[in-house]
Structure formats: structure tokens, C-alpha cells
Amino acid sequence: MEEKKPRRQGAAVRDGIVQYPHLFIAALALALVLMDPFHLGPLAGIDYRPVKHELAPYREVMQRWPRDNGSRLRLGRLEFVNEVFGPESIEFDRQGRGPYAGLADGRVVRWMGDKAGWETFAVMNPDWSEKVCANGVESTTKKQHGKEKWCGRPLGLRFHRETGELFIADAYYGLMAVGERGGVATSLAREAGGDPVHFANDLDIHMNGSIFFTDTSTRYSRK
């Protein structure tokens, strides 16, 4: 068995080269791309172990799920249209104020009622400037791409229920925190386990005090 195999392959390769050289080259190119021997692909060097999960059949599960068969959400009110741009996470503080939201222009803002409106609560960069960063709806387009790293992009927000501090997962600045009264956030973690945080995304605070945050990529930043 072991001896037959290489001979068969050799014959196939010889015939292939003679009869279909283009096919052979195409197959070789495909094999190189799939096997990536020079580690050039995006998954190179990553210990990639797919896991298969058995999911319950869709129909079986769906029948047990509660349904909004009256489409009650349709009766909800649409708020803050064209007032804030690119909000990701939203939170309310211990006193019930808010919502707070992280915007595409790098600010964390909060709604302070009809009279005061939206108020800037926190920024990641002490030099954050309205002129550079606050570009309204444009801040959600690619025009902001070059500035985001500097302006910040707060994606995850969570208040600490005991201290009242706001913890922020900023795509570029990593894990940040700011006091109850807001201001410039301070950095808590830009690396984890010796590796830089490339793309902090969301967080939550366990009741035992541990803070968990996600890093969307071990390789790429948001940009």
C-alpha cells in the first residue's frame, strides 16, 4: 500500500504536466493558497481549531421561544433621530440618568433631558478637539477613518454599580475608566497577557469586581 501511492501520484503528475499544463499550474496555485506554506494569509500563525457544536433543530427550538406575535415593538417611539451619530453601547448611571452612548466622533455623551439635551461626558484623548473629531453624520463614514485612532471610538460602556465609575472599551485606547462626573478617561489596560489589545469592543463587570472585556482581533485594529 505504502509503496504504490507515490508511484500513482508520480504518474498522474507526469500525465498532467504533459496533457494539461495549465490545469496543473492552477491546481498547484490553489494548493499553495490553501496550505499557505509561507504563512502569508490572514490566518497564518494562528492556532486555528474549529469546533463543531450540535445545535438543536431550528423548528424544535423556535416553537418554544416567546413570540412578539402582536408586533408590540412597532408601537415603540423612535428617539434621538439625527442627534447622535454612530452610538454603539448604551448605559444608564446609578441615578438613572442617561442614556449614555459612545459615538463615532470619540465622545461618550449623555442625555440630560429635553432642556439640557446631549452633554459630552467623557473623551479618551486629553487633546480631543471638536474641530477635528466632531463631524456629525460624517463621523460615521470613511472620512473619519484617519482620525478615529486619535479621536477614539468608545464601543462598550458599563457603569460600576458600587463606585459609579464608567468603564469604557475603546477600539483604539483599550480599557478605560472615568469617574462619575466624567472628563478625560484614564487607561486601565492597553495590553493583556503581554499582548497589545488591538480592538477592544465590549465589557461587563462581574459582581465579584472582575472586569471582563473583549478584544475583537488579536491581529487587526478597527481601521
Ligand X SMILES: *[C@@H]1O[C@H](CO)[C@@H](O)[C@H](O)[C@H]1NC(C)=O
* Residue 99 CA neighbour count, 13 Å, CB half: 13
For residue 207, the minimal CB distance to ligand X (Å) is 8
The span from the first CA to the last CA of the chain, in angstroms, equals 53
Give least dist CB 64 to ligand X, A.
12
For residue 31, the one-letter residue type is: A
Phi, psi dihedral angles at 123 (to 5 degrees)? -130, 160
For ligand X, give the closer residue by CB, 64 or 206: 206
Q: Which is nearer to ligand X, 132 or 211 (CB)?
A: 211
Return d(Cα 174, Cα 197) in angstroms, integer: 6
List C-alpha distances in Å: 175 to 78, 79, 185, 191, 212: 31, 29, 10, 9, 10
Contacts with ligand X by CB under 6 A lie at 69, 206, 208-210
| Closer residue to ligand X in complex, CB, 63/210 | 210
Q: What angle do CA 73, 74, 78 make, to 5 degrees?
A: 90
- Give the nearer residue to ligand X in terms of CB position, either 39 or 206: 206
Residue 126 vs 193, nearer CB to ligand X:
193
Closest contact distance (angstroms) between CB of 63 and ligand X is 12
Closer residue to ligand X, CB minimum distance, 22 or 206: 206
Residue with cell 462626573: 181
What order do you get walking across the sheet with 183-184 strand by strand? Answer: 90-91, 100-102, 107-111, 118-123, 183-184
How far apart CA 52 and CA 61 sit, in angstroms, is 19
C-beta separation of 217 from 142 below 8 A: no
